[in-house]
Structure 1
Amino acid sequence: MSGKLRLYKEKLEGYNRFYSIVKTIKMVTLAKFRQAQGRTRTRDYTLRYTEKAFSAMGTKEANNADDANSKTMLIPVMTNRGSCGALNSNIIKTVDNVLQSDTILLPLGKRGIESLSKLYGSNFKGGIINDMK
């Protein structure tokens, strides 16, 4: 009789271990889900902010494209992440090919502000850094 009791205790301990593993997996999944929800809320906020910023520009009177005083603005979006040096350097090459004397640069990203302000100081008018995490 004690052999059967030991067998049942071992099975019960196995089930308890399995349940604790499943519980841990559920907690990790819930944490990942909450992070994804936070990123979605941040993205929605950023999209609303961007839409508001660009719609405010559209409400002003549009200048004639043939006007001698009209200027072009380039907004290169560069990344601050690691291992993205190739992407940033390709963006700089494209800016170099497109840039004219009457072009204004307004880069997005910390690395873009640092590099483009040094390379094109006369065309550089500021930048935007998004430090939302």
Structure 2
Amino acid sequence: MDELIASVELQKALFTLLTGDIPVYEIVPAKANFPYFTIKNMSRVNDNTKTEKRTEHGIYIHTWSKGNSSLESKKMNNFVQNKLATDFKVTGFDVAFVEMEMEAMQEEQKSEETIFHGTIEFRITLNKK
């Protein structure tokens, strides 16, 4: 089973792209410190043609920060959008963005600090090389 699986390669690429000073989780540890990213709700639809083997993927990247201002979360959202738009590559596939948008920014009051939660939704098509 050495064929590249689009959803697996996509997930690897997302973690590689976002990993740096801010941790990236699929499942958040109980004692995780803020800020962090989560990658959730990856959906896949086969979109093959007679000449191309391709899949369309829907992904949500969540940004989480804590403090007295939404500035950090807004910077995280901007970072994700810029990285996806300029540096995103998936091993074994050509990447075509269908749609990318900042979907929501929510605030949740927890004790004395506020948790800021941003959601970026995007859809891409991966064409097997």
**TM-score bin (small chain):** under 0.3
Larger RCO, structures 1/2 (Cα 8 Å, 6+ apart):
2
What is the TM-score with the length of structure 1 in the denominator?
A: 0.26
Bigger Rg over Cα: 1
- Structure with more of its chain in helix, by fraction: 1
More strand by share: 2
> TM-score, normalised on structure 2?
0.27
